[in-house]
Amino acid sequence: MNKLAVVALGGNALLRAGQEGTIEEQQENVYNTCKYLLDLITPEHNFIMVHGNGPQVGNILLQNHAGSKVHGIPEMPLDVCGAYSQGFIGYLIEQQLRNILPTKDLEKGVVNLITQVLVDKNDTAFKKPTKPIGPYYTKEEAEKLSVETNSLFQEDPDGIGWRKIVPSPLPIQIGNSKVIEKLARDGHIVVAAGGGGIPVYYDENKQLRGIDAVIDKDHTSALLASQINADEFYIFTDLKRIIIEDGSADGKVLEVIPIAEAKKYLDEGRFSAGGMAPKVKGAITFIENGGSECIFIHFPDRSDEPIYQTRIVR
């Protein structure tokens, strides 16, 4: 029986820092990402792809705001913007996979599922937004947008710029998880729970409702991997190295991290809340629920750039 893997692709693997965000840029990035992924994942694997949407959903919100301001078009809530991003990113991934599969002599179905993910509307994350989305701004630009859109902005810990931050509640249940698992185990490539999934909750009448938030795709990926008993969990990230300060100029490069050590670094606040922390938490969740290891992979910007891996192990 083929191994089942869950692969989490960061939104930055699809839209790079400094790019304008044109469809041509994103098509090229998606093609390169999927080609690299199919080079890494053997034909003996079945797999599910969960993509991020941080840059894209932020851009959709800006388009929303501009359309409302200039043309009076009603603005859509954040959960609907997340659904938009699921649809168009899923379309790009499915299309490029279908372009690449024949070159690998692989015959697989590609299925893109718009996925709702249950959250707790009383999650403390709604009182303390931490999830960065959208493009980077200067401090002055962020302050202006904050007033115009009634939004919160925060400086990137690496000093790249300022980004909008939104609530990021923990996922509780992945919608259609059994369907996702069945399709994947049957040999189809499944793109699901994009952007961490559309955040929903049950109201007092037991009706599903959307809620303004962006679920971290690494938490959602880890939960999905655990719920379907995946064999492997991969996280693609734009971070080339996971480095911990140890008093030296360069710090300590982490290539293999035992789970106990990863927890210690989390407790010490060594990982940023909007960056590596949710990825490490996702890895820990997967391992604590039966997984053997989580593999972090830096997706190279150029073909001549080395590929870095960090593994969190039991």
* 76-115 tens-digit pLDDT: 999 999 999 999 999 999 999 999 999 988 889 999 999 9
How far apart, in whole angstroms, are the C-alpha atoms of residue 21 and residue 16? 8
CA-based nearest residue to 94, from 105, 83, 104, 86: 86
pLDDT at 239 over 70: no
Please state the pTM of the whole predicted model.
0.86
Active site residue 279: yes
Q: Is the dihedral of CA 310, 136, 133, 39 positive or negative?
A: negative
Q: Which of 10, 12, 32, 195 is catalytic?
A: 12
pLDDT at 140 over 90: yes
Q: Which residues contact 15 (CB under 8 A, 6 or more apart)?
A: 21, 25, 26, 29, 55, 56
Which pLDDT score is estimated for 43?
75
Q: Which of 279, 281, 282, 291 is catalytic?
A: 279
Of 276 and 182, the one with more pLDDT: 182
Q: Is the dihedral of CA 12, 16, 19, 21 positive or negative?
A: negative
Q: Which of 29, 59, 64, 217 is catalytic?
A: 217
Active site residue 131: yes
Active site residue 12: yes
pLDDT at 65 over 90: no
Q: Which of 10, 11, 195, 197 is catalytic?
A: 11
pLDDT at 224 over 80: yes
pLDDT at 287 over 90: yes
How far apart, in whole angstroms, are the C-alpha atoms of residue 294 and residue 44? 19
| Among the ranges given (17-31, 207-221, 223-237), the one the predictor scored with the smallest mean pLDDT | 17-31
The mean pLDDT value for 199-223 works out to 95
Please check whether residue 233 is in contact with residue 222, taking contact to mean a CB–CB distance below 8 angstroms. yes
Active site residue 217: yes
How far apart, in whole angstroms, are the C-alpha atoms of residue 116 and residue 310? 30
Q: Would you state the torsion angle of the CA atoms of residues 29, 32, 35, 36, taken in this order, to the nearest 10 degrees? A: -110
Among 36-50, 153-167, 195-209, 283-297, the range of highest mean pLDDT: 195-209
CATH (residue range 3-313): 3.40.1160.10
Question: What letter represents residue 287's amino acid?
Answer: I
Q: What is the mean pLDDT of the chain?
A: 88
Which pLDDT score is estimated for 190?
97
Could you tell me the pLDDT band of residue 136, with boundaries at 50, 70 and 90?
A: confident
Domain boundaries, the chain: 3-313
Could you tell me the pLDDT band of residue 292, with boundaries at 50, 70 and 90?
A: confident
- Residues 15-61 have pLDDT tens digits of 776 788 899 999 998 998 888 888 877 778 899 999 998 888 888 98
Q: Which of 29, 53, 59, 131 is catalytic?
A: 131
